[in-house]
Amino acid sequence: MFQHIPQDLQHRLLIMTADHSEDTMEHCKLLLLLLKRFPQTVATHGPRLVETLLTAEKHSHPGKAVNGFRKLLACEALPLLGAAPVELNARLSLRLLCKAVEFYFAYIQQPQDNQITKPWDKLFQVVELIGKKLGWELSNLFTLPWSRETYCDRLQQYANAHTASLGEELVVRQLLICSVVVLIRILNEHAALISSDETTYCLVEAFADPIPTAGEPKVKKRKREEPIGIVITSDGEYSGNGLALAVKLYDLIHSSEYLQRETAKIIQQMRLESWLNPFSNDLAMYKGMHHDLLLTLPQENSLCAQLQLASTCFFVKDYKSMIEYITLVANALPSAQGRVSNNLTVPAIRHLHYLPLTRFTVLQYCCRLLLTAIKESFSWPGGGGDLAIGNALVLLQIDWPQEAGMMSIITQKIMSRRCFSYPLFQAYIICVDILEELTYLWTDHGGGILLDIAVNTGILQNRRISTRGADKGVREEVKQTMRRQAARDGVDALDELLQRFILNEKKALQHSLIVR
């Protein structure tokens, strides 16, 4: 019925009803209806509506970003004001924009109630409209279709073009707010893509094969690979490259002392700690701030923190601490089984990997840390003894034959020493391929290597089966031992065997890495 009465009467009725409404929320909604039906009234009643919304929020919801009045401001009033030919005070416009940004950030972090569809699109619209009112060159950026790479590149280009003006408020303010909006969207997407309800991921230092030089076969270059040679991988469809872009933007808004001060203010004003704090460890990991991580991570009691500590200790070659953290991890493996990763080693100068927090993958990573450290110990004076070789053989089994190349190194070492003695052999080595290789080395065709295999487990047991120059009965016993070990392959659970090895043979691992 209201639609059928003359428009001037509609206009007067809306104003009259709004003015006489005792309920502030109803008053604001009526004013919004007035502005939508009669756009020519925005210049007159728009500022009044904004003032009412700000005052009502201050009295009704102090300190709470998500509330009914802020929602009306961010989702309805500002798009109307931004699109209308209305002059807005620059300071007020900036304040309103910051309130809208804070609202959307807080709303997106809440469990979604679907009251606001496509909140990021709506936020970008507000940034574009109010940014244009403020004379921001970057406002046009937010009209482009969303692309992490495109937005990051444009922000970097703007910063490069205004290097000499990064002390001016107009330049800094728009660069900072626009970068923060894009950064938080990237972090939001990154967090959603890198973890799911079923699996959580943890960023760790992984393993890098040398990048082929000229003349060697070229490896297909990863999209947007960092110039410093950092490659990020994961075991899911999403590689995790959003982290590199987030770090790039984070560095951009901290690229001068003035920007750092203003960024600190924005973080406090918009309450961004809840967005940035979960990102801080990955940021430090990406930037190679290992000593900082060694100070902050011990304060966190989580499996990911323990993994990152083991990873960091490996990177700084503190193998004693690495073994301690690996033991803690092995003692608290996730219940989700998962499967071994095929992406722990890639061609790179430096490799970061988002590791699924599943039993097999975590255990595989711990074994790879230990194996890589032992491999390095082979080149140390006094390193690469039988104990190190035996421990390496045990660790190779978790994802055999991924590290089969290590077997060639071990074979050469055993052949050069003409013997191999490992008291833990029968407790932990069951992989058929490894057993066959050792058996071949023992034969005359393989070199007639002396194998000393302990009958009992435990590093200090002395009873051995000696296989060189032994009588026929002893040689037969060795064959039977090898058969018994091989029969366990595919029967004994590898994850349980390797977990037991890490937990029970900690001293053997320390000794093989010459750690006291």
Rounded to 5, what percent of the chain is helix, strand, coil? 65, 5, 30
Closest CA to 323 of 59, 141, 159, 511: 511
Between CA 52 and CA 176 the distance in angstroms is 28
Other CB atoms within a 10 A radius of the CB of residue 121 amount to: 11
Q: Which residues of the chain have pLDDT under 70?
A: 1-21, 212-228, 454-474, 515-516
Between CA 351 and CA 206 the distance in angstroms is 5
**What is the predicted pLDDT for the residue at 215?**
53
Residues 58 and 11 in one domain: yes
Residues 161 and 112 in one domain: no
Residues 233 and 96 in one domain: no
Beta-carbon-side half-sphere exposure of residue 505 (alpha carbons within 13 Å):
30
**Contact predicate 231/351, CB 8 Å:** yes
Domain residues for 255?
136-210+228-376
Other CB atoms within a 10 A radius of the CB of residue 500 amount to: 14
**What is the predicted pLDDT for the residue at 463?**
40
Does 156 fall in a domain? yes
The domain boundary residue, chosen from 376, 408, 441: 376
**What is the predicted pLDDT for the residue at 464?**
45
**What is the predicted pLDDT for the residue at 20?**
56
Does 122 fall in a domain? yes
Residues 395 and 449 in one domain: yes
Closest CA to 224 of 282, 149, 288: 149
Residues 184 and 293 in one domain: yes
Residues 420 and 356 in one domain: no
| Angle at 433 (CA atoms; ends 430, 435), nearest 5 degrees | 50
Residues 386 and 315 in one domain: no
Kindly report, residue by residue over 194-204, the tens digit of the pLDDT: 887 778 899 99
Residues 463 and 477 in one domain: yes
Does 218 fall in a domain? no
**What is the predicted pLDDT for the residue at 13?**
62
Residues 94 and 173 in one domain: no
The domain boundary residue, chosen from 93, 110, 134: 134
Does 155 fall in a domain? yes
The domain boundary residue, chosen from 114, 134, 154: 134
- Domain count across the chain: 3
Does 221 fall in a domain? no
Measured CA to CA in angstroms, residue 365 lies from 196, 319, 329, 354, 360 at distances of 20, 15, 10, 11, 9
Does 219 fall in a domain? no
Residues 351 and 388 in one domain: no
Residues 191 and 307 in one domain: yes
Does 217 fall in a domain? no
Residues 371 and 385 in one domain: no
Helix (H) or strand (E) holding 342: none
Does 223 fall in a domain? no
